Structure 1
Amino acid sequence: MLLAALCCLPLLEFGAEGLRGWSQVLVYPGAFRAQRHEHDEDTGVLHEYDEDLIGESWEFGPLVLSWDDVAAEAGSPHEGFNVVVHEMAHKLDALDQAMDGTPPLPAAWQRAWARDFQAAYEALCARVDAGEETVIDPYAAEAPEEFFAVTSEYHFSAPAVLAAAMPEVASHLRRFYGESPL
């Protein structure tokens, strides 16, 4: 029941439309290892490595989660972390066939979203690159799609922190997801 409730939280404004294109949730008892392959176009070298994960969202595949982390985060929901919300945000982001940090939005809102999210993302990246402490998890600086997923976590688990740190982003996420239940 806990997992189902957490998965539905980001979908309250979307209903079944938020589930379009996928139908599976895989749950591992704990963190899991995924094999990665990255091809360096410049050198032609293929890099292979393993990565330990607590969650993953495949664009056209399942949602994959670590139960240990789902349960632990449910016990401390005000810390700005929620792997289920994070991965569900990726699913919503992918609804327009592009996991790029911008979910499907009306055109006028998309322009404002892109402007405000880009400015906040670039500011966070600059602070992270300078080695400064950040209120928002520095993982959000990895890529625009991670920025959207991480700020979505804050919207649901620490909305006051997000609103103080990034008021424009918080405003867009309130409009997108609805008010946080916290």
Structure 2
Amino acid sequence: MFDFFRRKPRQARAAPARPAPGHDIPDALWHGTLTRYAFLAALPPTDLERLRTLSRLFLKTKEFHGTQGLVITDAMAVAIAAQACLPLLYMGQSLKPPVPPERVLGWYDDFVGIVVHPREVLARRETVDDTGVVHHYNEVLSGEAMDRGPVMLNWRDVRDAGDSAAAGYNVVVHEFVHKMDLRDGRPDGCPPLAADFMGQPTARAAREAWLRVLQPEFEKFREAVVKAERFGAEAPWLDAYGAEAIDEFLAVACEAYFVNRERFAQDFKPLVSLFDAFFRR
């Protein structure tokens, strides 16, 4: 059987799985991934070839760590890689000459490790209020992206992403969009933008133009979530977690944009144009 990953000897089995250099993703492995995730299979053939190339290059530079006895198989790693590369699929392709895949993957070059839990995890948090009192609380995490650090995912949500696409949910896209947002060190809902983004003269003007679209959509969505939770109004289709903060709104919105664009466009037409300008440039 084709072994896409270098395996350590049995006595070093706890070491992370990492792809062998130069290997393409085997056909059976790739087609199995497309079978499980219809939102990927629906892409045109040329896009799928580019996604496969991006995924292969992604796998060459990342290490996967399973927790609680979870063994990362080739199929699991490819499933994560393909979904992680989805936001990068069209980036740089409209430029002359097009940006090569290796450079596009620079968006993810600040980390190596991907930690995969079997299911959601309970994290212990600490916060200090305005009076200086320290509060401790527990938070259930589906995933987490750390600035210049690893990405954490839970396999159950990754595995079920084909089904959850109907609800616009995708934990891999969510966390990797956070990584893009964090490229400038600020989780503020605005990834680094080129000075000429959407015809703007400077990077500062580009950021202002981005927030002029995103901020009102976030506020409108947050209000809808509050009305649903407090007053029994109809709940929005998009995951209510996006109402937590504008950076979470960006990540949640991008999940839906990539895995269920048609449904997303019904509620967020201004964001479709904004995201097209960024992700399809």
TM-score by length of 1: 0.91
Between the aligned partners of 1:164 and 1:53, the Cα distance in structure 2 is 28
Letter of the 2:111 counterpart: W
8 Å contact from structure 2 (residues 165, 256) kept in 1: no
2:259 matched residue in structure 1: 157
**Corresponding position of 1:139:** 241
SS in 1 for 2:165: coil
- The CA distance in 1 between the partners of 2:227 and 2:259, in whole Å, is 27
Relative contact order higher in (CA < 8 Å, ≥ 6 apart): 1
Equivalent of residue 191 in structure 2, options 85, 88, 103: 103
Distance 2:164 2:242 in 1: 20
Q: Is the 8 A contact 1:32 1:52 kept in 2?
A: yes
The within-5 A match list for 1:72-111 is: 72-106=160-194, 107=203, 108-111=205-208
2-structure distance, mates of 1:86, 1:123: 20
- 1:18 matched residue in structure 2: 107
Partner of 1:53: 141
Which 5+ residue runs of structure 1 have no aligned equivalent?
none
Name the residue aligned to 2:159. 71
Distance 2:133 2:257 in 1: 40
Match of 1:5 among 79, 82, 86: 82
Q: Where does the alignment leave 5 or more consecutive residues of structure 2 unmatched?
A: 1-77, 93-103, 195-202
Aligned partners of 2:167 and 2:237 also within 8 Å: no
Percent identity of paired positions between Structure 1 and Structure 2: 38
Task: Return the alpha-carbon distance in structure 2 between the equivalents of residues 151 and 75 of structure 1.
Answer: 17
Is residue 32 of structure 1 aligned with residue 129 of structure 2? Answer: no
Larger Rg: 2
AA partner of residue 145 (structure 1): D
Once the two structures are TM-superposed, the CA of residue 75 in structure 1 deviates from its matched residue by 4.0
| SS in structure 2 of the partner of residue 49 of structure 1 | strand
* 1:125 and 2:202 correspond: no
Moved over 6 A (4+): none
